[in-house]
């Protein structure tokens, strides 16, 4: 199929003329006179509607209204689909980050920091920016100085992550009830 503008293809199918400017014998182009650009060619006819109006003007007006309505209707759907895809991408990135957190272990407890409940919040913002709020089992933890950077490094390795902010917090103070059920089972805490 040739690369004709859609207006010319449709116009040709319905007998619209788009060669009026090249044919000196052709009637004037009504859109050009009215200053309308980008509109599909209007059929050239001397037909009158029953109430005495020009049928060509009615067709042009209807086409313009239909085109504008189609543009407006398409815009929210596209932006809604983009937002939905963006949210899916952020959710997928969050799942991958959680999996990455499960590879980091507390040196004194054989359970990963996510199941221990040391990750208080993990938020992925558009653009791949990640905010992590975490704590440690105790302020005197031997890895207090290195654990946040370990978490940051693991998070940076997740595809799509562009920046990571890790904040070490002490409120609320961690306690064993913050552990997941899997961690409690692993440590025989039942």
**87 domain residue, yes or no:** no
The residues, ordered by sequence, that sit 6+ positions from 102 with a Cβ below 8 Å of its Cβ are: 112, 114, 115
Same domain, 105 and 32: no
Same domain, 108 and 70: no
Q: What is the count of structural domains for the chain?
A: 2
| pLDDT score at 87 | 75
Q: Which of 14, 42, 77 is the last residue of a domain?
A: 77
Same domain, 125 and 160: yes
| pLDDT score at 141 | 86
Tokens of 140: 């005197």
Same domain, 138 and 174: yes
Say yes or no to pLDDT of 76 above 90: no
Percent of the chain with pLDDT over 70: 55
Scan for tokens 């040739």, then name that residue: 2
pLDDT confidence band for 86 (50 / 70 / 90): confident
Q: Is 109 left (phi over 0), alpha (psi -120 to 50) or beta?
A: beta
| pLDDT score at 98 | 97
Same domain, 70 and 105: no
Same domain, 63 and 103: no
Structural domain including 37 reads 6-77
Say yes or no to pLDDT of 126 above 70: yes
The CATH number that applies at residue 163 is 3.30.300.130
Residue 162 Cα distances to 56, 104, 127, 156, 157, angstroms: 56, 20, 7, 7, 10
**84 domain residue, yes or no:** no
| pLDDT score at 124 | 96
pLDDT tens sequence across 127-172: 999 999 999 999 888 888 899 999 999 999 999 999 999 999 999 9
Same domain, 60 and 106: no
pLDDT confidence band for 85 (50 / 70 / 90): low
pLDDT tens sequence across 38-73: 444 444 444 454 454 554 554 455 555 555 444 444
Higher-confidence residue of 162 and 87: namely 162
**82 domain residue, yes or no:** no
């Amino acid at each position: 199929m040739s690369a004709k503008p859609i207006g010319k293809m449709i116009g040709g199918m319905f007998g619209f003329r788009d060669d009026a400017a090249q044919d000196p014998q052709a009637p004037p182009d009504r859109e050009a006179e009215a200053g309308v650009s980008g509109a599909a060619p209007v059929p050239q006819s001397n037909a009158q509607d029953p109430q005495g109006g020009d049928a060509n003007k009615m067709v042009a007006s209807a086409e313009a209204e239909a085109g504008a309505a189609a543009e407006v209707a398409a815009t929210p759907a596209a932006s809604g689909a983009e937002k939905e895809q963006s949210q899916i991408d952020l959710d997928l990135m969050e799942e991958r980050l959680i999996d990455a957190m499960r590879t980091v272990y507390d040196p004194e407890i054989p359970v990963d920091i996510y199941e221990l409940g040391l990750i208080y919040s993990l938020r992925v913002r558009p653009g791949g920016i990640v905010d992590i709020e975490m704590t440690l089992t105790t302020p005197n933890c031997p890895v207090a100085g290195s654990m946040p950077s370990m978490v940051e490094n693991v998070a940076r390795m997740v595809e799509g992550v562009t920046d990571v902010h890790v904040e070490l917090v002490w409120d609320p103070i961690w306690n064993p009830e913050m552990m997941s059920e899997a961690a409690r089972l692993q440590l025989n805490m039942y």
